[in-house]
Amino acid sequence: MSAPATQKFLYGKWLFNIDQAQALLKEHPRDTEPTPVADWAAAYHLDRLTPGYDDEPWCPVFGPDQSAFNVEHALQADLNEPVIIATLEFDSGPAILLIDGVHRMYRAMTEGRTTLPAYTLTTKETARIRER
């Protein structure tokens, strides 16, 4: 039997190791904070991943597209498991990026949830789990 694949999140040229993020969160426990479902759903265009979407094909700047998103899997996602948000540092200041939990956000959106629990990594923690 083979080992399970390492969970990763790709954003442009950046690659984040989700397994390392989860291990880091176990080593450095913290409380979760609510994160707004509507904001993330809009940022990731999750409304365009619904089975009834019949508008023009599109290619997202970030987040999943229709060919790489499993709606059935998303509808079984555990909404009690916190999502993970990375914090990136830019010249203009910090910015956040959802790196784990897009399927949970989708389910929460379809069920009308307003928030989901989230862990937010610091910029230093984000740098530790970023592979490139």
Predicted confidence pLDDT, tens digits, the chain (132 residues): 667 789 998 888 899 999 999 999 999 999 999 999 999 999 888 887 766 656 666 555 555 555 567 888 899 999 999 999 999 999 999 999 999 999 999 999 999 999 999 999 999 999 999 999
Burial letters 72-86, b for 16+ CB under 10 A, else e: eebeebebeebbbbb
DSSP per-residue string spanning 12-47: TTEEEEHHHHHHHHHHS----EEEEHHHHHHHTTGG
